[in-house]
Structure 1
Amino acid sequence: MIPYGRQDISSADVEAVVDVLRSDFLTQGPMVPRFEETLARTVDAPEAVAFSSATAALHIACLALGLGPSDRLWTVPNTFVASANCGLYCGATVDFVDINAKTRNMDVEALASKLEAAERDGTLPKVVAPVDFAGTSADLAAIRRLADRHGFRILEDASHAVGGYYQNRPIGSCEFADVTVFSFHPVKIVTTGEGGAATTRSAEIAHRMRLLRNHGISRDPADMTAVPEGAWYYEQVMLGFNYRMTDIQAALGVRQFDRLAEFVARRQTIAARYHEGLAGLPVIRQFVPEGTLSALHLYVIELDQTVRRTRAEVFAAMRASGIGVNVHYIPVHLQPWYRALGFSRGDFPAAEKYYDFALTLPIHPNLSVDQQDYVMERLSYALEA
């Protein structure tokens, strides 16, 4: 089966992990700070904080931004459930903003309209979490203008997007977002096996995130209520969690970042071949605005409504041909948990229509030319059958 995504692990990656396994530290050693420094330097952000997963990073970022039970978080339906669940973890109310049909990211006009209604009703969000779908940045500058007007914080879910650019600046630099979160799951651009991180320009937010990922415990006298009794002394100064990344994961991540530019360039090459090879087929691809470089975590097409076969039939035909196509994403508001909160089909029509016709094709650094040609050949057959 040709997978839709797959990690690329080099001998240098393996050696880096083995070196940690033979060292004195497996968890809280020197590699996590080194990974954080590498990420911060790569995306040109002053602060980077590593976590056990991107979900953990989203949760802690929400807490660090002050999200609580009386607050609201808005995100998009076209995402993995973690983008919304992080608000529920904090006891907040979660709502959604529909997507733009071309970019598949948060529709800024829909957001502006929803904010105006919320301001009249006294129901403005504390946090808005746009998602950089498939590696293409949301329109953060426009969202920042709305944030300045309405007073919400921006939590950019860039789980798909490390190595991408927005307005010719690295995604994660936090030029417009208060916090940006990345994922390093094996199918993402670079991997730590499992892991995530958050970047920010705020030293205060970064400090809160570091405390919250480590049980709320500090060894810094500046955080304490008492004079330290000795070198062993620590205090729990807030209620936190065990969301730490290990040195094993971080060592893999540091080496993976050596090849970030190579990984993104390879994905760009594959995408360009798809653009050319699929040009005559009844499919629609994601629009990438000028000044934006997609990291291309995913290559997602939509079947044109003139296609006689259903998406399910095309999906089944591709899988039967040994091609691991997938679908990203089932709109979050249609999941049973969110339906029970009052959401239903028809609430966010652009996201729902996109989902009905979406299909994710394989894209990863080790996808060969022959494999890609086979994917395009079988897709053409599946669409015409």
Structure 2
Amino acid sequence: MEDRPEIKVPFARVDASGNEYQYLKEVLESGWLTTGRFAGMLEEQFTGIIGARHGLAVNSCTSALHLALEALGAGPGTKILVPTMTFTATAEVARYLGANPVLLDVDPTSGLLTPEIVEKGLESNPDAGILMVVHFGGHPAAMLDSDSGRGILQLCRARGVRIIEDAAHAFPARIGDSMIGTIGDVTCFSFYANKTMTTGEGGMVTTEDDTLAERMRTMRLHGIDRDAWHRFSRPGAGWEYDIIAPGYKYNMPDTAAAIGLAQLERHQQMHERRIELATRYMSELQQLVGLGLPACTVPRSDHAWHIFPVMLDPEAPVDRDQLISEMNQRGVATSVHYKPLHRMSYWRQECRLDEAHDARDFPGAEARWRGSVTIPLFSSMTDGEQQHVIDTLEAILEAPTAC
């Protein structure tokens, strides 16, 4: 059996040092494990923090994206603009509805859509109905007007294009006075295990629009007009319910919401720790030759610091895959965010792409992904663990010869 190196620093680790166990115990002792009181409290408190009018807890960000698209009327033939630098779920949900994703390039420095890229995409696709904006890594995209020009929101509003924000990485990011989750038509958050807060599996969809909120609320649980909690938790409420529309099984159970509620109580503390860790990385790694660090490119924006992707340039003594292998051998887990969609077999076929499109249509994403490595960053990371990551990078990148 092959010996595997001991992982001294994992890529991510859940920070469960608050009331997670206590709230789970309360749920189990209550006898009500599915969607109920805790899910309702999570919705209320989450929307209160970000300032959104409506928030619906769901079982994944993918479910949130699906509900958002369907609520906005996406269907067969709807053209949906999606950045190629994202996880497949962002584009995949369009295919659930028979809609047509169109991949857009990203800025090579930030991995984000920019107003310039969006404007070009809108001009090339005048029949586009929806734009999906990904706040990559926790860095908000340039949604709003600034001194440097029009924001993505204004470009889309001028053309009647609706906006879904994929904020899987972006709680609790903000632009100026607006928190992510209150800007576009609908915003979708992820509470997956490695995110800035977690429910294990889960997500939240927010909107300021009453009609969209009611439509998504109905679709979230099979089109039922009153869920089980509202039928059975109140004396005399009655068993009867109606099916008023088709829907899905996308509700969040209280077992997940209990974890999320405890996480939400400590979200500011966890966010501040991520900022502290990111700031130290920026300070300690800036002197390494051939290593580029994350750049905050949107004025007046606050980064959520979900991940910390670094970029190798041609001056580095190793390439991306060598660095990943060498760090693994030295006990540091890493990842890549992301191999762009236009390089995935399914999306190459679905979007009728080939190698000729790579450099021509996606130069920013091509430049970014070839040298991108994501190093560990999580709120329960110790100073010693971070020092080991820093020491490992220094040892590899300052080596006199390539590894």
TM range (shorter): over 0.9
CA contact (8 A) 2:61 2:202 kept: yes
Q: Which runs of 5+ in 1 are unaligned?
A: 221-229
Q: Which residue of 2 aligns with 1:326?
A: 335
Q: Deviations over 1:333-356 (max 9, x none)?
A: 211111111123413121121000
Residue 156 of structure 2 is aligned to residue 147 of structure 1: yes
Residue 91 of structure 2 corresponds to residue 84 of structure 1: yes
Paired residues of 2:18 and 2:262 also in contact (CA < 8 A): no
Residue 127 of structure 1 is matched in structure 2 by: 130
Give, in whole Å, the separation in 1 of the partners of 2:294 and 2:187. 22
Match of 2:128, SS state, is coil
Deviations 1:43-91 (CA, angstroms, capped at 9, x unpaired):
0001001100011111111101111112011111111111111111111
Mean Cα deviation higher: 264-273 or 334-343: 334-343
| One-letter amino acid matched to 2:159 | H
Query: What's the TM-score once normalised by structure 1's chain length?
Result: 0.93
Distance 2:377 2:124 in 1: 40
Query: 2: distance between equivalents of 1:10 and 1:209?
Result: 33
- Secondary structure of 2:125's partner? helix
Question: Structure 2 counterpart of 1:97, which letter?
Answer: L
Please report the RMSD computed on the Cα atoms of aligned residues, expressed in angstroms: 1.4
Task: Identify which range, 348-357 or 2-11, moves more after superposition.
Answer: 2-11
Q: Which residue of 1 aligns with 2:295?
A: 287
Q: Is the contact between residue 104 and residue 286 of structure 1 (CA under 8 Å) also seen in structure 2?
A: no
Which structure 2 residue ranges, 5 or more long, are not aligned?
Answer: 1-6, 145-150, 228-236
Counterparts of 1:114 and 1:244, CA distance in 2: 34
SS for the counterpart of 1:324 is coil
Aligned to 2:230: none
What's the secondary structure of 2:302's corresponding residue?
coil
Q: Determine what percentage of the aligned residue pairs are the same residue.
A: 33
Q: Deviations over 1:221-246 (max 9, x none)?
A: xxxxxxxxx94332222221001100
Deviation track 1:340-384 (CA, whole Å, cap 9, x = no partner) reads 111234131211210000010110112111211111111122223
Q: Cα distance, 1:274 vs. partner? A: 0.4
Aligned to 2:225: 218
Deviation of 1:11 after TM superposition, in Å, equals: 5.1
Which of 367, 374, 382 is equivalent to 1:353?
367
Q: Give the equivalent residue in structure 2 for 1:38.
A: 45
Could you say which residue in structure 2 is the equivalent of 1:110? 117
The amino acid across from 2:292 in the alignment is I
Q: CA deviation at 1:169?
A: 2.3
1:197-240: CA deviation from partner (whole Å, max 9, x where unpaired): 111001111111111110112149xxxxxxxxx94332222221
Distance 2:389 2:226 in 1: 54
Using the TM superposition, give the Cα deviation of residue 182 of structure 1 relative to its aligned residue in structure 2, in angstroms: 0.5
Where does 1:1-385 land on structure 2 (aligned, <5 Å)? Answer: 1=7, 2-10=9-17, 12-119=19-126, 124-141=127-144, 142-172=151-181, 174=182, 176-219=183-226, 231-281=238-288, 282-288=290-296, 289-341=298-350, 342-345=352-355, 346=358, 347-385=361-399
After TM superposition, the score normalised by the length of structure 2 is: 0.89
CA distance in 2, matches of 1:11, 1:295: 20
- Secondary structure of 2:119's match? helix
- Preserved CA contact (<8 Å) 1:168 1:292: no
CA distance in 1, matches of 2:389, 2:269: 23
